[in-house]
Amino acid sequence: MSLFVNRVSDHAPEYPLLDVFSWSGHKIAAVEWELQQLVQKASGPLEVVPSDHAVYVFSGKPPKKFGLVWIQDRKIKGFYRLMKEHGVAPVEIRKALDALREAYAKYDYTEHYTATIGSREVVVTPSVYLANDIQGIIDGMLR
């Protein structure tokens, strides 16, 4: 499987290679095509947080400056889509980004791994707790 070929990158932190047979490996492999689409569009670092609900992808350098998209039901979703489809106000997006910063910082100690998607290395953070917090923050905007 091309997803887990170990490649060296000057920009990716040195973490152990993600096990293809792990729970996280299966979750990521299930959305490999969508992740490849994101990798082609993103120029900065990417960090993937798999969960049962979605696969979350931080772009940039969380918790300081970052973006977040998620793959759910084989669709790439993000805050812009929430604003357009669900009428979420920009002020709610800003609050959600602040909450995401706090959630990310809270689980900074979590183990990280490396996976290769397409031709790029990404960081994988298999934290159920972080994923649950992210999902809670997104769900909170939709209430």
β-pair partners for 85: none
Q: Tell me the mean pLDDT in the region 32-44.
A: 94
Average pLDDT, the chain: 90
96 three-state secondary structure: helix
pTM of the predicted model as reported, rounded to 2 decimal places:
0.89
71-103 per-position pLDDT tens digit: 999 999 999 999 999 999 999 999 999 999 999
Pairing of strands 120-124, 46-50: parallel
